[in-house]
Amino acid sequence: MSPVAASQDPIEDHRTAAGAPATTFAADIGGTWVRMSTGGPGAPVERVPSPSRLRHPDRSTARLRADMVELLSDRVPAGARAALSFGAAIDHLTGTVYGSAPLWGAADTPYDLAADLRRSRPDVTWHLVNDVTAALLDFAAVHARPGTRRVAYLTVSSGIALRIADLERTRIPVDTWGLQGEVGHLPVPLTDPGAEVLAGLPCECGATDHLASLASGPGLVRAARRLGIPRAPQVADWLPGALDANDPGARRLLELGAAPVAHLLRTLWCLDPHLDLIGVGGGVAEGLAGHYAAEIRRRLATATSYADRGRDDAWLGDRLVFCGPGQVDPLRGVLRIGDWLPGVTP
Ligand SMILES: [Zn+2]
């Protein structure tokens, strides 16, 4: 198998056979907005409402998919190299999109978006990656230092996902399904005292007791409800202020939501001591800001065994970055995908 469209050249330096530079088109596609730019880094960004299930609950999945292909086909310049960051689990080897509830509802049949785009606009070179991959490339470009061996980006948002890149070899390893780091759908450890109250919470994927069941944005709403917090549905609005006010229910919710994320980070460093840099972003981490960072760091500072001796502020300061809103941009990151596609391999 080969990557979606491999190239040895950085995407912005690619030249067509005629010798003219191909126009660069980039899009960041989510359930709410589609952001697009033409012309490479620094080009103006256009934002249009996403033709998604979220915005059009009445439209069929087939219609929504056709609308997306039409939107992108309309905007992409002739002969362009198009780099798309997509807010869904995606097979990085083929461009096939696995489930994306905000975009297309609960349809669980994989959809070969790349194939439809190529049929619609065969003159364009299409590159498709997951938005966490695109975010990682932007994060790495800003934060990696000389000597950084591997770098990860973890998003804690409407879903939870992680991506790791090997900077020494310019590789993003994927499995035979073209996936890496869909950690939100791993079983969640409920090891904190009293955490068993959260057992059995559902996940967006249809299973129960996944990391995203309780630690994602919707997961925190479910956890708040289970804890009997009165304003559970408004947890995103309520929680930051309640933490400022040292509300005990808010504190408990933060602890239970952060615990499995800290456990994930601890496991990552146990398995890969050369993971020199991890960025944490996404709506939950950004919305809870200092409270979230402090709770994760507090947990990582605690020794759990000789294999996990606890990490002090200096150690974490070198390796763990909590990103603020807008600091990591998948639209900017996806422009770098041309450098990486040859290294996106099973
Ligand atoms: Zn799940």
* Alpha-carbon span 278 to 276, nearest angstrom: 7
CATH fold of 11-130: Nucleotidyltransferase; domain 5 (3.30.420)
CA 172 – ligand 1 centroid, Å: 23
In tens, the pLDDT along 227-258 reads 999 999 999 999 999 999 999 999 999 999 99
In tens, the pLDDT along 118-168 reads 999 999 999 999 999 999 999 999 999 999 999 999 999 989 999 999 999
CA 213 – ligand 1 centroid, Å: 7
- pLDDT tier at 16, thresholds 50, 70, 90: very low
Domain regions of the chain by residue span: 11-130, 182-273+283-322
Instruction: Classify residue 122 by its DSSP letter.
Output: T
CA 22 – ligand 1 centroid, Å: 40
CA 157 – ligand 1 centroid, Å: 14
DSSP letter string over 187-240? BPP--STTGGGGTT-B-TTS-BSBHHHHHSHHHHHHHHHHTT-TTGGGHHHHHH
- pLDDT tier at 102, thresholds 50, 70, 90: confident
Q: ipTM score here?
A: 1.00
What percent of the chain lies above the pLDDT cut of 90?
82
CA 216 – ligand 1 centroid, Å: 11
CA 108 – ligand 1 centroid, Å: 13
- Residue tagged 């790349």 (tokens): 114
CA 209 – ligand 1 centroid, Å: 8
CA 152 – ligand 1 centroid, Å: 21
What pLDDT is stored for residue 242 in this prediction? Answer: 97
CA 96 – ligand 1 centroid, Å: 19
Q: Do domains 11-130 and 182-273+283-322 have the same CATH topology?
A: yes
CA 51 – ligand 1 centroid, Å: 24
Mean pLDDT, rounded, for 36-46: 95
Whether the predicted pLDDT of 8 surpasses 70: no
* Alpha-carbon span 55 to 102, nearest angstrom: 9
CA 205 – ligand 1 centroid, Å: 4
CA 50 – ligand 1 centroid, Å: 24
CA 126 – ligand 1 centroid, Å: 29
Task: Output the six-digit token pair for 333.
Answer: 């990151």
CA 211 – ligand 1 centroid, Å: 7
Whether the predicted pLDDT of 10 surpasses 50: no
* Alpha-carbon span 61 to 88, nearest angstrom: 15
Question: Do 88 and 98 meet the contact criterion of CB atoms below 8 Å apart?
Answer: yes
Chain centre to alpha carbon of residue 242: 27
* Alpha-carbon span 285 to 186, nearest angstrom: 19
CA 285 – ligand 1 centroid, Å: 19
Convert 296-329 to b/e letters by CB count within 10 Å (16 or more is b).
bbebbeeeeeeeeeebeeeebeebbbbbeeeebb
CA 97 – ligand 1 centroid, Å: 16
The strands making up 125-130's β-sheet, listed across from edge to edge, are 45-49, 33-38, 24-29, 81-86, 125-130
Please choose, from the candidates 74, 75, 73, 72, the residue with its C-alpha nearest in 3D space to the C-alpha of residue 85.
72
CA 182 – ligand 1 centroid, Å: 9
* Alpha-carbon span 261 to 290, nearest angstrom: 15
Cα distances (angstroms) measured from residue 96 to each of 125, 178, 179: 16, 9, 11
* Alpha-carbon span 56 to 335, nearest angstrom: 29
In tens, the pLDDT along 162-209 reads 999 999 999 999 999 999 999 999 999 999 999 999 999 999 888 999
CA 180 – ligand 1 centroid, Å: 15
CA 330 – ligand 1 centroid, Å: 23
Question: Do 240 and 246 meet the contact criterion of CB atoms below 8 Å apart?
Answer: no
Instruction: Classify residue 77 by its DSSP letter.
Output: P
What pLDDT is stored for residue 20 in this prediction? Answer: 67
Domain 182-273+283-322 has CATH 1.10.10.60: no
Whether the predicted pLDDT of 37 surpasses 80: yes
Please choose, from the candidates 125, 145, 158, the residue with its C-alpha nearest in 3D space to the C-alpha of residue 337.
125
For residue 229, what are the contacts with CB-CB under 8 A and spacing of at least 6? 235, 249, 250, 253
* Alpha-carbon span 110 to 271, nearest angstrom: 31
CA 179 – ligand 1 centroid, Å: 15
* Alpha-carbon span 132 to 77, nearest angstrom: 25
CA 100 – ligand 1 centroid, Å: 12
For residue 329, what are the contacts with CB-CB under 8 A and spacing of at least 6? 28, 135, 138
CA 210 – ligand 1 centroid, Å: 5
Whether the predicted pLDDT of 12 surpasses 50: no
Whether the predicted pLDDT of 267 surpasses 90: yes
Phi-psi region of 287 (alpha: psi -120 to 50; beta: other; left: phi over 0): alpha
Determine the length of the chain. 346
Q: Which residue has the higher pLDDT, 210 or 14?
A: 210
What pLDDT is stored for residue 134 in this prediction? Answer: 97
Element (DSSP H or E) covering residue 181: none
CA 166 – ligand 1 centroid, Å: 26
- pLDDT tier at 224, thresholds 50, 70, 90: very high
CA distance from start to end of the chain: 9
Beta bridge partners of 37: 26, 45
What pLDDT is stored for residue 19 in this prediction? Answer: 57
Whether the predicted pLDDT of 311 surpasses 90: yes
CA 203 – ligand 1 centroid, Å: 5
CA 161 – ligand 1 centroid, Å: 11
